[in-house]
Amino acid sequence: MQQAPSFGRRGVAPLASPPTGSRAATASRAPASRAAPAAETSRLATLPFVTLGLIALLAAVFWMEQAAALSPQPGLTLGYQSLMALGGANGRLVFHDGQVWRLFTAPMLHASLAHIAGNSLVLLLVGWRLERLIGRAWLAAIFFVSAIGGSFGSVCLNAQGPVSVGASGAIMGLLAAAFVCSFHLAAYETRNKLRFLSLRLIIPALIPTSGLIDYSCHFGGAVTGAALGFVLQVVWPEMEDRPLFGKAAAMIGGVGAALSLVAFVPVALNYSHFAARADGLIPDAELPHGQAEIDARGAGLSLRYPRDPRGHFYRAIGDLKIQDTAGAEGELRAALAQGDVLDNDMPPNLRYAIAGTLAATLHDEGRDDEARQFAGPVCATVDPGLAKLRAALVKGRVCG
């Protein structure tokens, strides 16, 4: 059986036993108790402290999110208004209102306990291996630069402009960098595991299957991480254990961490503005979950919160179930009349869902010309959550 070769200074075994009486032989016969502290130090040196620190940082920010949420929900979930107030990324706010700091705060935020738990698990899996391979400084640099790349990808490529939060862009960057770095000689012993882990997680994360996932953020983070992986290949001599320019990478990681934390200052300064805008809207804790709750509470919500288009939409759905198309049309038009709220305080797909439902209602009444006036945005969207509504409009020839 042929032994796998070793490269550089990794795992090189002595070619022969040291001669009897030599210093090396004497050292090899030293008591095990003397070797124990050195072994313990070696184990501590290989622990992924930066990866664990990043997970702790995300957990601390999530705890603060819960304390500052505009309207806490069961299951440690944050609603749309809370995420906007706390610094979620949104193309309109970044480009139109100049709130560039959201590019830095959004990767630190998470929408629910399940969201942060899933991201932390993947971060631990990839960070544990990648940090040992490229070092702590480079891992921190890739994480924070990829986080910005993910946020930028989200606000640039996401035409509907929803609020986006989560460290998945940064994690995608680490996965992409790990795949590229797996081709370096220093990764010889772990290259297959790195490639399998990277591809196993990157490929599904880039295939759109849900309207709740920001694939533009994933794409931006992955492209950024892959580019940084190629940079590492350039500054990483084949026979060296670590890439060069570790101090520069540490500086980049430190600046990225500082900017991500300092960016929460404008969050605090703008918080009262978003809290005021949420006044008169349905609190997150009162939002219905599932069709049964919409049927039971939709009409009441529209009366108690007339400024919130969601209440009118819920009541319209109930009217359509009892075939009251006139009542449904009135509620849907009332919902669309709240244009300021739809533009500034609601996910964009809500406007599309309301307009598409109104178009379908008008089509059922034989008013196709009017229906087409509202169907345009739904016919053009690629949001998976609106696929059924879009298909119904296409089938009814409402879409052009």
Q: Which amino acids are annotated catalytic? A: 168, 218
Residues contacting residue 242 through CB under 8 Å, at least 6 positions apart? 134, 135, 138, 186, 236
Residues contacting residue 255 through CB under 8 Å, at least 6 positions apart? 144
Are residues 59 and 119 in contact, defined by beta-carbon separation less than 8 angstroms? no
Report the residue count for the chain. Answer: 400
**Burial of 190 by CB count in 10 Å (0-12 exposed, 13-18 middle, 19+ buried)?**
middle
Q: How far is CA 301 from CA 78, 304, 308, in A?
A: 20, 5, 9
**Burial of 27 by CB count in 10 Å (0-12 exposed, 13-18 middle, 19+ buried)?**
exposed
Q: Looking at the DSSP assignment, which residues form a beta bridge with residue 77?
A: 73
Residue 367 burial (CB count, 10 A): 14
Q: How far apart are the first and last CA of the chain?
A: 68
* 305: three-class secondary structure by DSSP: coil
Are residues 71 and 86 in contact, defined by beta-carbon separation less than 8 angstroms? no
Q: What are phi and psi of 77, to 5 degrees?
A: -100, 140
Q: How far is CA 133 from CA 14, 182, 387, in A?
A: 23, 9, 43
Helices (H) then strands (E): counts for the chain: 20, 0
Rounded Cα distance, 323 and 218, in Å: 42
Rounded Cα distance, 117 and 58, in Å: 10
